[in-house]
A and B are shown apart, each in its own frame.
Chain A
Amino acid sequence: MPPQQPLLHLTRLLRVRLLGVTGDYPRAGRNDGRTAAPHWRRFVSVSDATIRTLIEETYGDHLSSDEIETLLPYIRRQFESSQKLSELDLGELDPRGMNFISDRRITP
Protein backbone atom coordinates (compact mmCIF):
# COMPACT_ATOMS: atom_id res chain seq x y z
CA MET A 1 0.00 0.00 0.00
CA PRO A 2 1.62 3.28 -1.04
CA PRO A 3 2.10 6.07 1.54
CA GLN A 4 -0.81 8.50 1.55
CA GLN A 5 -1.30 12.13 2.46
CA PRO A 6 -1.55 12.20 6.27
CA LEU A 7 -3.35 15.53 6.50
CA LEU A 8 -6.20 14.24 4.36
CA HIS A 9 -6.44 11.22 6.57
CA LEU A 10 -6.39 13.32 9.68
CA THR A 11 -9.18 15.52 8.43
CA ARG A 12 -11.26 12.48 7.53
CA LEU A 13 -10.56 10.79 10.82
CA LEU A 14 -11.48 13.83 12.83
CA ARG A 15 -14.31 14.89 10.51
CA VAL A 16 -12.71 18.28 10.33
CA ARG A 17 -14.61 20.85 8.33
CA LEU A 18 -12.53 22.64 5.72
CA LEU A 19 -12.57 26.31 4.83
CA GLY A 20 -15.12 27.03 2.13
CA VAL A 21 -16.85 23.70 2.49
CA THR A 22 -19.07 24.44 5.43
CA GLY A 23 -19.25 28.20 5.08
CA ASP A 24 -18.63 28.85 8.77
CA TYR A 25 -15.72 31.21 8.19
CA PRO A 26 -16.52 34.90 8.71
CA ARG A 27 -16.60 36.58 5.32
CA ALA A 28 -15.25 40.02 4.62
CA GLY A 29 -17.88 42.71 4.98
CA ARG A 30 -20.25 40.61 7.06
CA ASN A 31 -18.60 41.05 10.43
CA ASP A 32 -15.53 42.53 12.05
CA GLY A 33 -13.45 39.36 11.85
CA ARG A 34 -13.58 38.91 15.63
CA THR A 35 -15.92 35.95 15.55
CA ALA A 36 -14.73 33.02 17.63
CA ALA A 37 -12.28 30.85 15.73
CA PRO A 38 -14.06 28.35 13.52
CA HIS A 39 -13.94 24.75 14.55
CA TRP A 40 -11.36 23.70 11.98
CA ARG A 41 -8.84 26.22 13.25
CA ARG A 42 -9.06 25.28 16.91
CA PHE A 43 -6.51 22.79 18.15
CA VAL A 44 -8.01 19.35 18.40
CA SER A 45 -6.46 16.93 20.86
CA VAL A 46 -5.55 13.69 19.18
CA SER A 47 -5.54 10.44 21.11
CA ASP A 48 -2.81 7.84 20.79
CA ALA A 49 -5.35 5.53 19.19
CA THR A 50 -6.02 8.15 16.52
CA ILE A 51 -2.31 8.69 15.91
CA ARG A 52 -1.83 4.95 15.64
CA THR A 53 -4.60 4.75 13.06
CA LEU A 54 -3.10 7.70 11.24
CA ILE A 55 0.28 5.97 11.04
CA GLU A 56 -1.29 2.75 9.84
CA GLU A 57 -3.32 4.55 7.21
CA THR A 58 -0.27 6.49 6.06
CA TYR A 59 2.49 3.91 6.07
CA GLY A 60 0.41 0.78 5.69
CA ASP A 61 2.34 -2.41 6.19
CA HIS A 62 5.73 -0.75 5.78
CA LEU A 63 5.99 -0.54 9.57
CA SER A 64 5.65 -3.30 12.13
CA SER A 65 3.51 -2.78 15.21
CA ASP A 66 6.68 -2.23 17.27
CA GLU A 67 7.86 0.41 14.83
CA ILE A 68 4.47 2.11 14.98
CA GLU A 69 4.69 2.22 18.77
CA THR A 70 8.18 3.75 18.51
CA LEU A 71 7.02 6.36 16.01
CA LEU A 72 3.95 7.31 17.99
CA PRO A 73 5.66 9.53 20.62
CA TYR A 74 7.50 11.44 17.87
CA ILE A 75 4.20 12.38 16.30
CA ARG A 76 2.62 13.07 19.67
CA ARG A 77 5.42 15.56 20.37
CA GLN A 78 4.69 17.24 17.03
CA PHE A 79 1.06 17.58 18.01
CA GLU A 80 2.12 19.02 21.35
CA SER A 81 4.11 21.65 19.43
CA SER A 82 1.01 22.23 17.32
CA GLN A 83 -0.95 22.87 20.46
CA LYS A 84 1.62 25.35 21.72
CA LEU A 85 1.55 27.12 18.37
CA SER A 86 -2.23 27.22 18.39
CA GLU A 87 -2.22 28.79 21.85
CA LEU A 88 -0.16 31.76 20.71
CA ASP A 89 -2.00 34.76 19.36
CA LEU A 90 -0.35 34.92 15.98
CA GLY A 91 -3.11 36.80 14.24
CA GLU A 92 -5.93 35.71 11.99
CA LEU A 93 -5.59 33.87 8.73
CA ASP A 94 -7.99 36.41 7.26
CA PRO A 95 -5.92 38.37 4.72
CA ARG A 96 -7.32 41.64 6.15
CA GLY A 97 -5.29 41.05 9.30
CA MET A 98 -2.20 39.43 7.88
CA ASN A 99 0.29 42.25 8.26
CA PHE A 100 2.34 39.89 10.37
CA ILE A 101 5.74 41.27 9.39
CA SER A 102 5.14 44.20 11.74
CA ASP A 103 2.90 42.32 14.14
CA ARG A 104 4.41 42.65 17.62
CA ARG A 105 1.55 41.14 19.57
CA ILE A 106 3.60 38.37 21.17
CA THR A 107 6.52 40.62 21.98
CA PRO A 108 6.49 41.57 25.64
Chain B
Amino acid sequence: MNDLLFSPISEIAPRIRAKEISPVELTRAALQQIEATDGRLNAFPVVKSEEALSAAADAEHEIQAGRWKGPLHGIPVGLKDNIAVNGWVTTCGSRILAEHVTDYDATAVRRLREAGAVILGKNNLHEWALGGSCTFGIFGTVHNPWNTEHIAGGSSGGSAAAVSAGQAFMALGTDARASIRTPASYCGVVGLKPTGGLVSRFGELPPTSSWYMALGPIARTVTDVAITLNAISGYDDLDPGSIRTESRDYTAGIDDGVKGLRIGVVKNFFYDDALPEVRDSVEAAASAYRAMGASVREVELPALRYTSLIEPVYEGEAKGWLVDYALTRGADFDSQDIRYRALASRFLRTADTLRANRLLNLLRAQVQEVMEEIDILLTPTNSTPPYRIDAEEVEVADGTVNVAGAGGQSRVTTRLTVPFNALALPAISVPCGMSNSGLPFGLQLVGRSFEDHLVLRAARAFEREAGLGYRRPPIVA
Protein backbone atom coordinates (compact mmCIF):
# COMPACT_ATOMS: atom_id res chain seq x y z
CA MET B 1 0.00 0.00 0.00
CA ASN B 2 2.87 2.38 0.77
CA ASP B 3 3.99 2.48 -2.88
CA LEU B 4 0.48 3.43 -3.93
CA LEU B 5 0.85 6.64 -1.94
CA PHE B 6 3.38 7.82 -4.50
CA SER B 7 1.35 6.89 -7.58
CA PRO B 8 -0.34 9.66 -9.53
CA ILE B 9 -4.06 10.24 -9.01
CA SER B 10 -4.45 9.58 -12.75
CA GLU B 11 -3.26 6.00 -12.19
CA ILE B 12 -4.92 5.35 -8.84
CA ALA B 13 -8.36 6.65 -9.83
CA PRO B 14 -9.16 3.98 -12.47
CA ARG B 15 -8.17 1.30 -9.98
CA ILE B 16 -10.41 2.81 -7.32
CA ARG B 17 -13.20 2.91 -9.86
CA ALA B 18 -12.51 -0.75 -10.72
CA LYS B 19 -12.69 -1.53 -6.98
CA GLU B 20 -9.11 -2.82 -6.98
CA ILE B 21 -8.09 -0.20 -4.42
CA SER B 22 -10.11 0.62 -1.33
CA PRO B 23 -10.42 4.33 -0.45
CA VAL B 24 -10.52 3.32 3.21
CA GLU B 25 -7.24 1.41 2.92
CA LEU B 26 -5.70 4.23 0.90
CA THR B 27 -6.77 6.78 3.52
CA ARG B 28 -5.48 4.60 6.31
CA ALA B 29 -2.12 4.35 4.51
CA ALA B 30 -1.98 8.12 4.07
CA LEU B 31 -2.70 8.62 7.78
CA GLN B 32 0.06 6.15 8.63
CA GLN B 33 2.43 8.01 6.32
CA ILE B 34 1.66 11.25 8.14
CA GLU B 35 2.26 9.49 11.44
CA ALA B 36 5.56 8.08 10.21
CA THR B 37 7.01 11.20 8.60
CA ASP B 38 5.47 14.32 10.05
CA GLY B 39 7.60 14.38 13.15
CA ARG B 40 10.42 15.41 10.81
CA LEU B 41 8.41 17.62 8.44
CA ASN B 42 5.69 19.39 10.45
CA ALA B 43 3.61 19.62 7.28
CA PHE B 44 0.33 18.24 8.64
CA PRO B 45 -0.25 19.73 12.11
CA VAL B 46 -4.00 19.10 12.03
CA VAL B 47 -5.09 15.56 11.13
CA LYS B 48 -8.77 14.60 11.20
CA SER B 49 -8.45 10.82 11.15
CA GLU B 50 -12.03 9.94 12.08
CA GLU B 51 -13.61 12.34 9.64
CA ALA B 52 -11.24 11.24 6.88
CA LEU B 53 -11.92 7.56 7.44
CA SER B 54 -15.65 8.25 7.55
CA ALA B 55 -15.48 10.15 4.24
CA ALA B 56 -13.39 7.33 2.77
CA ALA B 57 -15.98 4.77 3.89
CA ASP B 58 -18.72 6.83 2.26
CA ALA B 59 -16.66 6.98 -0.94
CA GLU B 60 -16.13 3.24 -0.84
CA HIS B 61 -19.86 2.55 -0.44
CA GLU B 62 -20.71 4.89 -3.30
CA ILE B 63 -18.16 3.29 -5.59
CA GLN B 64 -19.27 -0.19 -4.62
CA ALA B 65 -22.79 0.90 -5.54
CA GLY B 66 -21.57 2.05 -8.94
CA ARG B 67 -21.74 5.77 -8.17
CA TRP B 68 -18.14 6.75 -9.00
CA LYS B 69 -17.93 10.54 -9.05
CA GLY B 70 -14.66 11.02 -10.90
CA PRO B 71 -10.91 10.81 -10.46
CA LEU B 72 -10.82 12.49 -7.03
CA HIS B 73 -13.35 10.08 -5.55
CA GLY B 74 -11.75 8.40 -2.54
CA ILE B 75 -8.43 10.28 -2.93
CA PRO B 76 -6.83 11.60 0.32
CA VAL B 77 -5.97 15.29 0.08
CA GLY B 78 -4.78 18.16 2.29
CA LEU B 79 -5.76 21.80 2.73
CA LYS B 80 -3.59 24.76 3.65
CA ASP B 81 -4.80 26.04 7.01
CA ASN B 82 -6.05 29.34 5.63
CA ILE B 83 -8.87 27.57 3.79
CA ALA B 84 -12.13 27.28 5.72
CA VAL B 85 -13.74 23.97 6.60
CA ASN B 86 -17.10 23.90 8.34
CA GLY B 87 -16.62 23.16 12.03
CA TRP B 88 -12.82 23.18 11.96
CA VAL B 89 -10.40 25.74 13.33
CA THR B 90 -8.80 27.84 10.58
CA THR B 91 -5.75 29.57 12.02
CA CYS B 92 -4.15 31.16 8.96
CA GLY B 93 -0.97 30.24 10.79
CA SER B 94 -1.58 32.75 13.58
CA ARG B 95 -1.98 32.35 17.33
CA ILE B 96 -4.58 35.08 17.13
CA LEU B 97 -6.94 32.75 15.25
CA ALA B 98 -6.04 29.66 17.31
CA GLU B 99 -9.68 29.20 18.29
CA HIS B 100 -11.31 30.54 15.13
CA VAL B 101 -13.81 27.88 14.11
CA THR B 102 -15.22 28.51 10.66
CA ASP B 103 -18.86 27.59 10.20
CA TYR B 104 -18.80 27.16 6.45
CA ASP B 105 -16.81 25.36 3.77
CA ALA B 106 -14.69 27.33 1.33
CA THR B 107 -16.08 26.89 -2.17
CA ALA B 108 -13.02 24.88 -3.20
CA VAL B 109 -13.54 22.58 -0.21
CA ARG B 110 -17.21 22.14 -1.08
CA ARG B 111 -16.24 21.28 -4.64
CA LEU B 112 -13.59 18.81 -3.48
CA ARG B 113 -16.19 17.13 -1.28
CA GLU B 114 -18.63 17.00 -4.20
CA ALA B 115 -15.89 15.34 -6.25
CA GLY B 116 -15.56 12.73 -3.50
CA ALA B 117 -12.10 13.69 -2.24
CA VAL B 118 -11.16 12.65 1.31
CA ILE B 119 -9.88 15.58 3.35
CA LEU B 120 -7.20 14.43 5.77
CA GLY B 121 -6.68 17.68 7.67
CA LYS B 122 -4.87 20.98 7.51
CA ASN B 123 -1.38 21.75 6.23
CA ASN B 124 1.11 24.07 7.90
CA LEU B 125 1.78 27.51 6.40
CA HIS B 126 3.70 30.74 6.96
CA GLU B 127 2.06 33.00 9.53
CA TRP B 128 -0.89 34.84 7.96
CA ALA B 129 0.19 33.34 4.60
CA LEU B 130 2.52 36.35 4.40
CA GLY B 131 5.96 34.85 3.87
CA GLY B 132 7.91 32.52 1.67
CA SER B 133 9.83 30.42 4.19
CA CYS B 134 7.30 28.74 6.54
CA THR B 135 9.62 29.45 9.44
CA PHE B 136 7.07 31.51 11.38
CA GLY B 137 3.60 30.64 12.60
CA ILE B 138 1.49 28.93 15.18
CA PHE B 139 2.59 25.44 14.16
CA GLY B 140 6.31 26.15 13.82
CA THR B 141 8.68 25.57 10.92
CA VAL B 142 7.92 23.30 7.97
CA HIS B 143 10.94 21.18 6.99
CA ASN B 144 11.86 20.28 3.44
CA PRO B 145 11.49 16.54 2.67
CA TRP B 146 14.68 16.72 0.56
CA ASN B 147 16.71 17.97 3.49
CA THR B 148 14.96 18.72 6.74
CA GLU B 149 17.52 21.39 7.60
CA HIS B 150 16.23 23.49 4.69
CA ILE B 151 13.05 25.48 4.25
CA ALA B 152 10.10 24.02 2.35
CA GLY B 153 9.20 27.44 0.96
CA GLY B 154 5.93 29.18 1.54
CA SER B 155 3.51 30.19 2.34
CA SER B 156 1.90 26.87 1.31
CA GLY B 157 4.98 24.96 2.53
CA GLY B 158 3.02 22.33 4.44
CA SER B 159 0.92 21.53 1.39
CA ALA B 160 3.99 21.04 -0.84
CA ALA B 161 5.98 19.07 1.75
CA ALA B 162 3.00 16.79 2.44
CA VAL B 163 2.53 16.01 -1.26
CA SER B 164 6.25 15.48 -1.76
CA ALA B 165 6.42 13.02 1.16
CA GLY B 166 3.42 10.96 0.10
CA GLN B 167 1.21 12.15 2.94
CA ALA B 168 -1.45 13.32 0.48
CA PHE B 169 -2.01 12.98 -3.25
CA MET B 170 -2.83 16.64 -3.63
CA ALA B 171 -3.06 19.64 -1.34
CA LEU B 172 -4.61 23.03 -1.93
CA GLY B 173 -2.54 26.15 -1.47
CA THR B 174 -3.01 29.87 -1.97
CA ASP B 175 -0.70 32.25 -3.80
CA ALA B 176 -0.50 36.04 -3.45
CA ARG B 177 3.18 36.37 -4.36
CA ALA B 178 4.70 32.91 -4.67
CA SER B 179 2.92 30.77 -2.15
CA ILE B 180 1.99 27.84 -4.38
CA ARG B 181 4.86 27.94 -6.85
CA THR B 182 7.82 28.49 -4.53
CA PRO B 183 7.09 25.61 -2.14
CA ALA B 184 6.29 23.38 -5.12
CA SER B 185 9.65 24.35 -6.60
CA TYR B 186 11.54 23.76 -3.34
CA CYS B 187 9.86 20.42 -2.60
CA GLY B 188 10.13 18.95 -6.11
CA VAL B 189 6.41 18.88 -6.94
CA VAL B 190 4.01 20.73 -9.26
CA GLY B 191 2.06 23.82 -8.24
CA LEU B 192 -0.37 25.91 -10.29
CA LYS B 193 -1.47 29.46 -9.61
CA PRO B 194 -4.52 29.60 -11.86
CA THR B 195 -5.67 32.68 -13.76
CA GLY B 196 -7.23 35.21 -11.40
CA GLY B 197 -10.96 34.58 -11.22
CA LEU B 198 -10.85 30.96 -12.40
CA VAL B 199 -10.94 29.36 -8.93
CA SER B 200 -13.14 30.79 -6.21
CA ARG B 201 -11.34 32.23 -3.19
CA PHE B 202 -14.44 32.24 -1.02
CA GLY B 203 -13.44 30.84 2.35
CA GLU B 204 -9.80 31.73 2.02
CA LEU B 205 -8.22 33.69 4.86
CA PRO B 206 -7.07 36.42 4.61
CA PRO B 207 -10.06 37.62 2.66
CA THR B 208 -8.94 39.68 -0.29
CA SER B 209 -10.93 40.98 -3.19
CA SER B 210 -7.90 41.77 -5.32
CA TRP B 211 -6.78 39.95 -8.39
CA TYR B 212 -3.34 39.02 -7.15
CA MET B 213 -4.48 36.28 -4.79
CA ALA B 214 -5.28 32.84 -6.20
CA LEU B 215 -6.14 29.42 -4.82
CA GLY B 216 -4.78 26.37 -6.57
CA PRO B 217 -3.52 22.79 -6.41
CA ILE B 218 -0.14 21.28 -5.55
CA ALA B 219 0.37 17.68 -6.70
CA ARG B 220 3.10 15.34 -7.87
CA THR B 221 2.19 15.40 -11.56
CA VAL B 222 0.86 17.99 -13.96
CA THR B 223 -2.09 15.75 -14.84
CA ASP B 224 -3.04 15.50 -11.16
CA VAL B 225 -3.01 19.29 -10.98
CA ALA B 226 -5.31 19.37 -14.02
CA ILE B 227 -7.64 16.79 -12.47
CA THR B 228 -7.94 18.97 -9.38
CA LEU B 229 -8.45 22.12 -11.42
CA ASN B 230 -11.38 20.39 -13.12
CA ALA B 231 -12.98 19.91 -9.73
CA ILE B 232 -12.38 23.32 -8.14
CA SER B 233 -12.58 25.79 -11.04
CA GLY B 234 -15.69 27.59 -12.23
CA TYR B 235 -17.74 30.66 -11.47
CA ASP B 236 -18.80 31.28 -7.88
CA ASP B 237 -21.06 34.16 -6.95
CA LEU B 238 -19.65 34.09 -3.40
CA ASP B 239 -16.33 35.42 -4.72
CA PRO B 240 -16.63 38.94 -6.15
CA GLY B 241 -13.48 38.29 -8.20
CA SER B 242 -14.86 35.15 -9.81
CA ILE B 243 -15.19 35.31 -13.58
CA ARG B 244 -17.62 33.38 -15.76
CA THR B 245 -15.77 31.37 -18.36
CA GLU B 246 -16.49 28.46 -20.59
CA SER B 247 -16.29 25.20 -18.67
CA ARG B 248 -13.28 23.15 -19.73
CA ASP B 249 -11.73 19.73 -19.12
CA TYR B 250 -8.14 20.61 -18.24
CA THR B 251 -6.94 17.06 -18.80
CA ALA B 252 -8.16 17.07 -22.42
CA GLY B 253 -5.23 17.46 -24.78
CA ILE B 254 -2.75 17.66 -21.93
CA ASP B 255 -0.56 15.03 -23.63
CA ASP B 256 -0.68 16.69 -27.05
CA GLY B 257 2.86 18.04 -26.76
CA VAL B 258 4.26 21.43 -27.66
CA LYS B 259 4.84 21.16 -31.39
CA GLY B 260 4.08 24.58 -32.83
CA LEU B 261 3.77 26.23 -29.42
CA ARG B 262 5.66 29.54 -29.18
CA ILE B 263 7.76 29.79 -26.05
CA GLY B 264 9.54 32.93 -24.88
CA VAL B 265 12.48 32.69 -22.50
CA VAL B 266 12.68 35.79 -20.32
CA LYS B 267 16.20 36.41 -19.08
CA ASN B 268 16.16 40.04 -18.06
CA PHE B 269 15.18 40.38 -14.39
CA PHE B 270 14.81 36.58 -14.00
CA TYR B 271 18.52 35.89 -14.40
CA ASP B 272 19.74 38.79 -12.23
CA ASP B 273 19.92 36.75 -9.02
CA ALA B 274 19.80 33.23 -10.48
CA LEU B 275 22.66 30.92 -9.55
CA PRO B 276 24.52 29.34 -12.49
CA GLU B 277 23.02 25.91 -11.75
CA VAL B 278 19.51 27.41 -11.99
CA ARG B 279 20.31 29.31 -15.19
CA ASP B 280 21.85 26.22 -16.76
CA SER B 281 18.78 24.13 -15.97
CA VAL B 282 16.45 26.72 -17.43
CA GLU B 283 18.60 26.92 -20.55
CA ALA B 284 18.46 23.13 -20.81
CA ALA B 285 14.68 23.28 -20.46
CA ALA B 286 14.48 25.81 -23.30
CA SER B 287 16.61 23.52 -25.47
CA ALA B 288 14.37 20.59 -24.57
CA TYR B 289 11.29 22.52 -25.68
CA ARG B 290 13.03 23.30 -28.97
CA ALA B 291 13.79 19.60 -29.40
CA MET B 292 10.14 18.80 -28.70
CA GLY B 293 9.07 20.97 -31.63
CA ALA B 294 8.23 24.24 -29.91
CA SER B 295 9.39 27.52 -31.34
CA VAL B 296 11.66 29.01 -28.67
CA ARG B 297 13.14 32.49 -28.58
CA GLU B 298 14.35 34.99 -26.02
CA VAL B 299 12.03 37.86 -25.15
CA GLU B 300 12.49 40.95 -23.00
CA LEU B 301 10.15 42.58 -20.53
CA PRO B 302 12.07 45.73 -19.52
CA ALA B 303 9.38 47.03 -17.16
CA LEU B 304 10.07 44.12 -14.82
CA ARG B 305 12.89 46.21 -13.41
CA TYR B 306 10.20 48.21 -11.60
CA THR B 307 8.58 45.17 -9.98
CA SER B 308 9.42 46.27 -6.44
CA LEU B 309 7.94 49.72 -7.09
CA ILE B 310 4.63 48.15 -8.13
CA GLU B 311 4.14 46.80 -4.61
CA PRO B 312 2.05 49.74 -3.33
CA VAL B 313 -0.71 48.59 -5.69
CA TYR B 314 -1.46 45.64 -3.48
CA GLU B 315 0.61 46.10 -0.33
CA GLY B 316 -2.09 48.17 1.37
CA GLU B 317 -4.76 45.54 0.93
CA ALA B 318 -2.35 42.69 1.63
CA LYS B 319 -1.47 44.04 5.05
CA GLY B 320 -4.01 46.71 5.94
CA TRP B 321 -6.53 44.27 7.41
CA LEU B 322 -3.93 43.26 10.02
CA VAL B 323 -3.42 46.73 11.49
CA ASP B 324 -5.85 46.32 14.37
CA TYR B 325 -4.29 43.00 15.41
CA ALA B 326 -0.82 44.50 14.97
CA LEU B 327 -1.78 47.23 17.44
CA THR B 328 -3.73 45.21 19.98
CA ARG B 329 -2.19 41.71 19.76
CA GLY B 330 1.39 42.54 18.86
CA ALA B 331 2.93 39.89 21.12
CA ASP B 332 0.90 37.22 19.34
CA PHE B 333 2.74 37.77 16.07
CA ASP B 334 5.40 35.09 15.73
CA SER B 335 6.98 37.20 12.98
CA GLN B 336 7.35 40.76 14.20
CA ASP B 337 8.39 41.66 10.66
CA ILE B 338 4.85 40.86 9.47
CA ARG B 339 3.46 42.94 12.32
CA TYR B 340 5.55 46.00 11.44
CA ARG B 341 4.86 45.65 7.72
CA ALA B 342 1.14 45.70 8.59
CA LEU B 343 1.60 48.82 10.72
CA ALA B 344 3.60 50.50 7.98
CA SER B 345 0.94 49.73 5.37
CA ARG B 346 -1.24 52.44 6.91
CA PHE B 347 1.25 55.03 5.71
CA LEU B 348 1.10 54.11 2.04
CA ARG B 349 0.22 57.14 -0.02
CA THR B 350 -2.54 57.27 -2.59
CA ALA B 351 -0.21 59.08 -4.97
CA ASP B 352 2.17 56.13 -4.81
CA THR B 353 -0.61 53.67 -5.51
CA LEU B 354 -1.59 55.73 -8.55
CA ARG B 355 1.97 55.81 -9.83
CA ALA B 356 2.54 52.13 -9.07
CA ASN B 357 -0.63 51.36 -11.01
CA ARG B 358 0.84 53.15 -13.99
CA LEU B 359 3.94 51.01 -13.75
CA LEU B 360 1.78 47.91 -13.52
CA ASN B 361 -0.10 49.00 -16.62
CA LEU B 362 3.20 49.46 -18.43
CA LEU B 363 4.27 45.97 -17.46
CA ARG B 364 0.87 44.63 -18.50
CA ALA B 365 1.14 46.35 -21.87
CA GLN B 366 4.60 44.91 -22.46
CA VAL B 367 3.49 41.40 -21.53
CA GLN B 368 0.40 41.68 -23.74
CA GLU B 369 2.53 42.83 -26.63
CA VAL B 370 4.99 39.99 -26.18
CA MET B 371 2.21 37.45 -25.79
CA GLU B 372 0.72 38.34 -29.12
CA GLU B 373 3.62 36.39 -30.57
CA ILE B 374 4.39 34.07 -27.66
CA ASP B 375 2.11 31.48 -26.07
CA ILE B 376 4.14 30.63 -22.98
CA LEU B 377 6.76 32.54 -21.00
CA LEU B 378 9.53 30.41 -19.51
CA THR B 379 11.49 31.49 -16.43
CA PRO B 380 13.04 29.97 -13.33
CA THR B 381 10.60 29.77 -10.40
CA ASN B 382 13.30 30.86 -7.97
CA SER B 383 16.85 32.12 -8.25
CA THR B 384 18.20 29.59 -5.77
CA PRO B 385 17.38 26.21 -4.28
CA PRO B 386 15.78 26.23 -0.81
CA TYR B 387 18.08 27.73 1.78
CA ARG B 388 18.94 26.45 5.23
CA ILE B 389 16.37 27.14 7.95
CA ASP B 390 19.06 28.76 10.11
CA ALA B 391 20.56 30.79 7.25
CA GLU B 392 21.00 34.51 7.74
CA GLU B 393 22.47 35.08 4.31
CA VAL B 394 21.73 33.36 1.02
CA GLU B 395 24.06 33.33 -1.92
CA VAL B 396 22.66 34.71 -5.18
CA ALA B 397 24.38 35.34 -8.50
CA ASP B 398 26.25 38.49 -7.60
CA GLY B 399 26.49 38.41 -3.86
CA THR B 400 24.41 37.53 -0.86
CA VAL B 401 20.97 38.47 0.44
CA ASN B 402 20.29 38.87 4.14
CA VAL B 403 17.19 36.71 4.58
CA ALA B 404 17.01 37.57 8.27
CA GLY B 405 16.55 41.25 7.42
CA ALA B 406 13.50 43.05 6.09
CA GLY B 407 12.75 42.20 2.49
CA GLY B 408 15.54 39.63 2.11
CA GLN B 409 13.40 36.53 2.47
CA SER B 410 10.89 38.01 0.05
CA ARG B 411 13.60 38.76 -2.50
CA VAL B 412 14.83 35.16 -2.43
CA THR B 413 11.49 33.37 -2.31
CA THR B 414 9.01 35.56 -4.18
CA ARG B 415 10.86 37.87 -6.57
CA LEU B 416 10.41 35.79 -9.72
CA THR B 417 6.82 34.79 -9.12
CA VAL B 418 5.12 37.98 -7.90
CA PRO B 419 4.97 39.72 -11.30
CA PHE B 420 2.44 37.13 -12.45
CA ASN B 421 0.29 37.71 -9.39
CA ALA B 422 0.25 41.38 -10.25
CA LEU B 423 -0.82 40.43 -13.78
CA ALA B 424 -3.20 37.63 -12.65
CA LEU B 425 -1.77 35.30 -15.28
CA PRO B 426 -1.76 31.50 -14.95
CA ALA B 427 1.64 30.26 -13.80
CA ILE B 428 2.91 26.82 -12.91
CA SER B 429 6.09 25.47 -11.33
CA VAL B 430 7.32 22.04 -12.44
CA PRO B 431 10.45 20.23 -11.22
CA CYS B 432 13.36 21.38 -13.37
CA GLY B 433 16.71 20.70 -11.73
CA MET B 434 18.62 19.58 -8.68
CA SER B 435 21.24 21.72 -7.00
CA ASN B 436 24.75 20.53 -6.34
CA SER B 437 23.63 19.94 -2.78
CA GLY B 438 20.74 17.71 -3.89
CA LEU B 439 17.85 20.12 -3.51
CA PRO B 440 15.15 20.64 -6.15
CA PHE B 441 14.15 23.82 -7.93
CA GLY B 442 11.45 24.53 -10.46
CA LEU B 443 10.74 25.91 -13.88
CA GLN B 444 8.00 28.53 -14.15
CA LEU B 445 5.69 28.56 -17.19
CA VAL B 446 3.27 31.45 -17.65
CA GLY B 447 0.36 31.75 -20.06
CA ARG B 448 -2.23 34.24 -21.20
CA SER B 449 -5.33 34.80 -19.06
CA PHE B 450 -7.62 31.77 -19.02
CA GLU B 451 -5.18 29.73 -21.05
CA ASP B 452 -4.38 27.55 -18.07
CA HIS B 453 -4.87 24.54 -20.35
CA LEU B 454 -1.91 25.64 -22.51
CA VAL B 455 0.25 26.14 -19.43
CA LEU B 456 -0.66 22.65 -18.27
CA ARG B 457 0.04 21.16 -21.69
CA ALA B 458 3.47 22.81 -21.87
CA ALA B 459 4.28 21.70 -18.32
CA ARG B 460 3.13 18.16 -19.01
CA ALA B 461 5.32 17.93 -22.13
CA PHE B 462 8.35 19.00 -20.13
CA GLU B 463 7.53 16.61 -17.30
CA ARG B 464 7.09 13.70 -19.70
CA GLU B 465 9.92 14.31 -22.15
CA ALA B 466 12.66 16.23 -20.43
CA GLY B 467 12.03 17.25 -16.86
CA LEU B 468 12.86 15.47 -13.68
CA GLY B 469 9.27 14.61 -12.93
CA TYR B 470 8.40 13.62 -9.41
CA ARG B 471 11.13 11.89 -7.42
CA ARG B 472 10.80 10.55 -3.93
CA PRO B 473 12.71 12.73 -1.49
CA PRO B 474 15.26 11.10 0.84
CA ILE B 475 12.88 11.22 3.79
CA VAL B 476 10.70 8.58 2.11
CA ALA B 477 13.11 6.99 -0.36
Contacts and interface: CB of A to CB of B under 8 A. Distances in A.
A10 B349 CA distance: 10
A71 B344 CA distance: 7
Given A90-B355, A102-B365, A58 B340 contact: no
18 contacts: A6-B347, A59-B343, A74-B341, A74-B343, A77-B406, A78-B344, A81-B308, A81-B352, A82-B349, A85-B312, A88-B359, A90-B358, A91-B358, A100-B361, A100-B362, A101-B361, A104-B362, A107-B366
Contacts of A59: 327, 343
Interface string B292-336: 000000000011001011011000000000010001101000001
B358 A54 contact: no
A100 B355 CA distance: 10
Interface string A5-30: 01100100000000000000000000
B259 interface: no
Interface in A29-49: 41
A75 B358 CA distance: 22
B73 to A, nearest CB: 46
A85 B302 contact: no
A39 to B, nearest CB: 13
Given A74-B344, A78-B347, A91-B358, A85 B352 contact: yes
Interface string B354-373: 11101101100110000000
Nearest to A76: B344
Contacts of B361: 100-101, 103
A82 B352 contact: yes
Interface in B443-467: none
B86 interface: no
Contacts of A104: 362, 365
B327 A63 contact: yes
A7 B354 CA distance: 15
A67 B330 contact: yes
Interface of B: 302-303, 306, 308-309, 311-312, 323, 327-328, 330, 336, 340-341, 343-344, 346-352, 354-356, 358-359, 361-362, 365-366, 406-407
Contacts of A86: 355
Interface string A49-62: 00000100011001
B132 to A, nearest CB: 18
B406 A74 contact: yes
A30 B79 CA distance: 61
B347 A75 contact: yes
A6 B344 CA distance: 10
Contact of A70 (B308, B340, B347): B340
Contacts of B328: 62
Contact of B312 (A10, A63, A81, A91): A81
B356 A85 contact: yes
Nearest to B330: A67
Contacts of B308: 81
Give the one of A59, A103, A107 with max B CB within 10 A: A107
Contacts of B347: 6, 10, 54, 58, 75, 78
A3 B346 contact: yes
A6 B365 contact: no
A108 B302 contact: yes
Given A70-B340, A90-B355, A106-B362, A84 B309 contact: yes
B352 A103 contact: no
Nearest to A60: B327
A3 B323 contact: yes
A41 B346 CA distance: 20
A90 B359 contact: yes
A93 B354 contact: yes
Contacts of B365: 101-102, 104
A70 B365 CA distance: 39
Given A100-B358, A107-B303, A85 B309 contact: yes
Given A71-B340, A71-B343, A78-B352, 12 more contacts: A58-B346, A67-B330, A74-B344, A78-B312, A81-B311, A81-B312, A85-B309, A85-B312, A90-B355, A103-B358, A103-B361, A106-B359
B343 A107 contact: no
B369 to A, nearest CB: 10
A88 B356 CA distance: 10
Nearest to B359: A90
Nearest to A93: B354
Give the one of B312, B352, B359 with max A CB within 10 A: B352
Contacts of A82: 349, 351-352
A31 B440 CA distance: 60
B329 to A, nearest CB: 11
B287 to A, nearest CB: 28
Given A6-B346, A74-B341, A103 B355 contact: no
